Structure 1
Amino acid sequence: MTTPDTPAMATPRVAAGALFFDGEGRILLVKPGYKDGWEIPGGYVEPGESPREACNREIAEELGLPASVGAHLVVDWAPIDNEGDKILFIFDAGVLSDHERAAIRFADGELTDWRFTYSNDLDGLMPARLVRRIHTAIEAKLRGIAAYAEYGVEPTNPAN
């Protein structure tokens, strides 16, 4: 219960996305039909749902694939002026096999296309904040750690 003496608290929107790769190390991108640009599979977390559950649900809804994403690679605090505070997760979804790629179906009609793209070719395909978040997630995967980011980039530690 809030009272007049209770300070305001953040109520961020939470979303989760998945990084799928192919055998060449390219990233799976999806094209939403309702906006410009490309994205990674994923979406907003529903009430009572964990970010991991939301990511798996979105993969099933958007791509028609059963999913069980692995470890989270990055959690990013990334508010947007016109949308408010956001906390965004990226999970490692592993390598998509040829069989899985052939099974991709746009189950809920939100997506219109998909493709694999090298991480160095992401600029201009999506918002810069998502490009930064994906690069941070890939770096975390390579280092074998989970990363914390702000606006897509790991903050520097002034104590180091």
Structure 2
Amino acid sequence: MAENEQEQRMATPRMAAGALFFDGQDQVLLVKPSYKPKWEIPGGYIERGESPLAACMREVREELAITPSIGPLLVLDWAPSDAEGDKVLYVFDGGQLSPEELAEIKLAPDELLAAEFHPAADLDQLLIPRLARRVKAAIRARGHGHTQYLEHGMPPNGEKGSDTP
């Protein structure tokens, strides 16, 4: 196979990274973008030459104006999209935010309308379906102490995964 042909067959997915932050009641911090109808988790696209963890930290700093420690990877999700092409999405454990960190949150005015904690039971109503599946899987992964690999927000090959966190 010619090198050019092989290069054309190589995957070039868009990549994004986000973090799950929790409060003392294990509710999840969601952000309300000004440019989308549903809620999201803090995070965004990875820039060329940037690691997923560095992108996650940068996006949290840009969106919320805080620099908390970011913990281990909870979920890696392969999420192809007819409209946007293949995506690889990383969700890291941001842990429980301290009262000081919560007090320091300042929303990116051109990007976010709100940042609020919500119970896991409300995720299906607040998030688009594939993100709700991804976030619930990340909550489960955090509880089990291991990273979860997903495809389209679901465990592949019929692996067991509960819909409840």
Alpha-carbon deviation of 1:157? 6.2
Code of the aligned partner of 1:118: P
> What residue in structure 2 maps to residue 50 of structure 1?
51
> What residue in structure 1 maps to residue 162 of structure 2?
none
1:21-100 paired onto structure 2 within 5 Å? 21-100=22-101
Label 1:122 to 1:48 Cα distance change in 2 as closer, same or farther (>3 A): same
Q: Decide which structure has greater helix share.
A: 2
> What residue in structure 2 maps to residue 14 of structure 1?
15
Structure 1 gap ranges (5+):
none
**Percentage of identical aligned residues:** 52
Structure 2 gap ranges (5+):
160-165
Give the distance between the partners of 1:103 and 1:120, measured in 2 at CA.
27
RMSD: 1.7
Aligned residue-pair number: 158
Alpha-carbon deviation of 1:63? 0.2
TM-score (norm 1): 0.92
Code of the aligned partner of 1:119: A
SS of equivalent residue, structure 2 residue 131 = helix
SS of equivalent residue, structure 1 residue 23 = coil
Answer yes or no: is the 8 Å Cα contact 2:39–2:127 preserved in 1: yes
Label 1:62 to 1:8 Cα distance change in 2 as closer, same or farther (>3 A): same
Answer yes or no: is the 8 Å Cα contact 1:74–1:137 preserved in 2: yes
SS of equivalent residue, structure 1 residue 148 = strand
TM-score (norm 2): 0.90
Label 1:114 to 1:4 Cα distance change in 2 as closer, same or farther (>3 A): closer
Alpha-carbon deviation of 1:64? 0.3
